[in-house]
Chains A and B, each alone.
Chain A
């Protein structure tokens, strides 16, 4: 059975205290965390300092209205993917349609209806979470690609894929398989290196034996050995006498 997703962080942007309170009460009852701003400028300030899952945006506000706020959100790389639900009266449908054309996700009519608010925020939140998951997935795919490059460059660290390998999905399986193969490859390289090292030692020893044989087989060495033998015998004779 799928678990119920936890609530999101919602930013309510409305100049009316009553509207903000109504929305906040309903959102908190649905398990969301709600913050408030009373105009677009304040909303952008909050969005800059904290991440939000959904923005509920009133259109008619002093200082900076909903249209201008939406335009800034959609023009800002870090904010453009945050779902924006515009709040509009039933007599402002044209404005809501214009906002959706500008990138708003949906609209919420006033006066508010609890079921509609629940459904629209829930749908936007689900869309945001799906996108967040896709982004995270892409980042992790990139980390596997990075690991492959590191393996080619000889700088691969098996621990770099540990977190990814703990996933239970196909990407986790890929990371585990990649790590295992990379470790096997490294172990094989080390075995080969050790064998090459041993071969070098054997070659060196054989070379030394050959050099010794060359020296001991030479006429000069044989002459020296005969001379040494004569000297030893002379010494022995001297001791006997």
Chain B
């Protein structure tokens, strides 16, 4: 099974903190906080505009931590919603939730390591 996070992207993220482990850990915490919010928005979106916005935001955060598969799922949903109706949206959100769970676990592990480095 491929690793859900791209190490190069995580190194870029760490570079943005200037190598500060505490700040790096805070950014990973922010990813986890945002992930909960965006997943809730995906699951309760009242219309396609709100669904598209949540997919877009989750995609952006996924790219920050190198969660390429998650970013691709979100990107595809966002693009299809921009093009028109998406009848299988609930199944697509399910797939995103499944991938997001794996990503959050990996981010949690990375967060733990960053905490130890502090």
Contacts and interface: CB of A to CB of B under 8 A. Distances in A.
B80 interface: no
A131 interface: no
A111 B34 CA distance: 16
Contact of A19 (B26, B33, B61, B75): B61
B53 A111 contact: no
A60 B30 contact: no
A230 B12 CA distance: 127
A16 B27 contact: no
Contacts of B16: 22, 25-26, 112, 114, 117
A189 B61 CA distance: 75
A25 B17 contact: yes
A96 to B, nearest CB: 14
Interface string A71-107: 0000000000000000001010000000000000000
A111 B61 CA distance: 8
B18 interface: yes
A176 to B, nearest CB: 47
Instruction: Give the size range of A's interface with the partner.
Output: 20 to 34
B22 to A, nearest CB: 10
A30 to B, nearest CB: 9
For B13, B33, B57, B75, the residue with the greatest tally of chain A CB atoms inside 10 Å of its CB is B57
B17 A111 contact: no
A17 B56 CA distance: 14
Given A22-B13, A62-B53, A110 B60 contact: yes
B12 A111 contact: yes
B27 A25 contact: yes
A21 B24 CA distance: 10
Contact of B9 (A21, A61, A111): A111
Given A91-B75, A112-B16, A21 B30 contact: yes
21 contacts: A15-B57, A16-B34, A16-B60, A18-B27, A18-B30, A18-B34, A18-B64, A19-B61, A22-B13, A22-B16, A22-B64, A25-B17, A25-B20, A29-B17, A62-B50, A89-B63, A91-B75, A91-B79, A111-B63, A111-B64, A111-B66
